[in-house]
Amino acid sequence: MKKFLYLAVAGSALMTAACQPATQSVAPAQTDVVASVPTVEQAKDFLEKSEAEIVELALRGSKIEWINSNFITEDTNWLSAKVGEEFGLLSTRLANEAKQFNELTLPADMARKLDGLKRGSNFPAPDKPGAAAELATIMTELNAAYGQGSFNYKGEELQLGELSKIIANSRDPEELKTVWEGWRTIAPPMQKDYARMVEIVNEGSKELGYADTGVLWKAGYDMPADDFTKEADRLWSQVKPLYDDLHCHVRAKLNDQYGNEIVPLDQPIRADLLGNMWAQSWGNVYDMVKPESDTPTIDITTLLEEAKYDETQMVKVGENFFTSLGFDPLPGTFWERSLFTKPLSRDVVCHASAWDIDDKDDIRIKMCIEKTGEDFKTIHHELGHNFYQRAYKNQPVYYKDGANDGFHEAIGDMIALSITPDYLVKIGLLDASDVPDASADINLLMQQALDKVAFLPFGIMIDKWRWNVFNGEYTPSEYNTGWWELREHYQGVRPPSERPGDAFDPGAKFHIPGNTPYMRYFLAHILQFQFHKAACDIAENTGPLHRCSVYGNKEVGKRFDDMMRMGSSKPWPEALNAFTGTHNMDGSAIIEYFAPLHTYLKEQNKDRNCGW
């Protein structure tokens, strides 16, 4: 999820935030001149007046950004660019003014708010004429280029959704290669602008006191930047053995399908063969890698079809999960103002997102919903953002955010882990007689692992790449080479053909041109299982973790709400402790969840040559 404004300051849509454009620069700050020896009272006054500015700009701006994402035109792109300029100017000004209180001893709450202001934007513009406008224009154009991207295949101009269906369903390696390469033709024109954007935001980050923008991003995790890098690596080391065994098994099964020429058993897997445009989740190849048995599995897509669910009903079911925990229903405006289906007559950004327009009750989702099991789960994910947003709506604007950005992503995914067979029975999608017994658990866990476990290395490598871009380790001419070095190192995947240095394949993934930090998704995949285990413990679950559903448990909902209402008002370890009873992120829950599958994978791989 992306913000134009502050790492620790909300007040805008989670997906995109901005302000109504102005025809001139932002007016001078409406604050008193800070004396040479500032006082606590002056700092308090500065924070109050800054909050008022942020709230006013964010309300107008989020509406502008909503329009731009739902009506991509030259005019709305222009509006969005002006919005980004105004936010850039505001961010830079408030960050610089906040530094005037650096030597002042302040109460912890005030110091935390000022630290958030000083960190400024994820993409800060330097304090010089024209920089904010140039940055905003580049960011808007990159986002629009992705949203309007298409590839002509067999005489039809296909956009990402249609191309992704081919990647998901085709078993023809030549077709997969053509479509995979075709989508990436949208990216090379982005590279020059992207490189210029990196120059601008690095200059802005240095003005704020950070070595580069990657260091600025890592500063948002309540620990020194180097410590956070080590923390991410520690979490990856916990889950890597499970991923390695999954990779080995999947490669062997794909080899059975395609043969040694297409899938050599001593090399990384071709990225176009894994059922997803970016090989970030592998659920669409389940039919080729599932355990060799006739054990029944549950296909939520089929269940939705049989029940004749429409897109709105799917969202209603997601809402029902949260209300079963004791949360209030979504407001009427949610149903009036959200986007559930792709319009036929205009370009929209279809990437699913949750929006908080007014930091109060105008919450929405924007999705081009497909009636599939994948989107059924995605709806729960996006609603998790909305219920989190509403939980902390009474916090000051500085704290209207997740405890860290991984929390926000983990909330809905934790709920989705409770989409078990028993839950599907309770909501009427599955007959009790069709619930598979424990012998089907390996199949069910395999389906989940192809999405959850397969994602983990992709989740960590995206920002590893950007950190290397920001610190200069990868120059523009090395962007693509560095991208594939990391993808091979972490994921064990390779492109289907040699990629030119100027291909800029990173630009074919939304979060790069959309400028959304990605480490949050890696952390979320750790935290969602940690949250799930804590919730199941609260619910006094006695069965295996992967069979636990907390649907309808009000005590879980109360404890969950206690954590969410904190927003980012306290360091994330305190919020984590409020729900889980520990201050440390921990990958052991995901290992426990998939333990039966991991045992199966080790048995399957015992005579295979794993690794790459």
Amino acid at 566: M
Q: Angle between the 311-324 and 373-391 helix axes, to the nearest 10 degrees?
A: 50
Mean pLDDT split into 10-residue runs, the chain, 612 residues: 34 34 35 65 96 92 92 90 85 86 92 88 88 91 92 95 95 98 97 97 91 94 94 97 98 97 97 97 94 79 95 96 97 96 87 90 94 92 94 95 91 90 93 86 93 97 98 97 98 97 95 93 96 97 94 95 95 95 96 97 96 94
51 is catalytic: no
- pLDDT value at residue 173: 98
Q: How far from the centroid of its chain's Cα atoms is residue 77's Cα?
A: 23
CA–CA gap between residue 62 and residue 68 (Å, rounded): 10
Q: Which of 511, 525, 546, 598 is catalytic?
A: 511
384: number of Cβ within 10 Å: 27
pTM of the model: 0.86
- pLDDT value at residue 4: 33
Residue 409 · residue 521 · CB < 8 Å? yes
- pLDDT value at residue 400: 93
Q: Which of 86, 382, 408, 532 is catalytic?
A: 382
- pLDDT value at residue 7: 32
Closest of 277, 273, 310 to residue 159, by C-alpha: 277
39: number of Cβ within 10 Å: 12
CA–CA gap between residue 179 and residue 166 (Å, rounded): 8
Which helix (H) or strand (E) covers residue 209, if one does?
A: none
- pLDDT value at residue 349: 83
- pLDDT value at residue 26: 34
- pLDDT value at residue 327: 97
Which helix (H) or strand (E) covers residue 105, if one does?
A: none
Amino acid at 367: M
- pLDDT value at residue 295: 75
Which helix (H) or strand (E) covers residue 153, if one does?
A: strand 150-153
Task: Give Cβ neighbours of residue 482 (< 8 Å, ≥ 6 apart).
Answer: 465, 468, 469, 473, 474
Amino acid at 249: H
- pLDDT value at residue 436: 84
Task: Give Cβ neighbours of residue 197 (< 8 Å, ≥ 6 apart).
Answer: 123, 135, 138, 139, 142, 515
Sign of CA dihedral 80, 86, 89, 92: negative
Residue 89's alpha-carbon distances to 82, 121, 135, 325, 439, in angstroms, are 11, 10, 11, 42, 60
Closest of 320, 351, 340 to residue 418, by C-alpha: 320
What are φ and ψ of residue 65, in 5° steps?
A: -65, -35
489 is catalytic: no
Which value, in Å, is the radius of gyration of the alpha carbons in the chain? Answer: 24
- pLDDT value at residue 75: 92
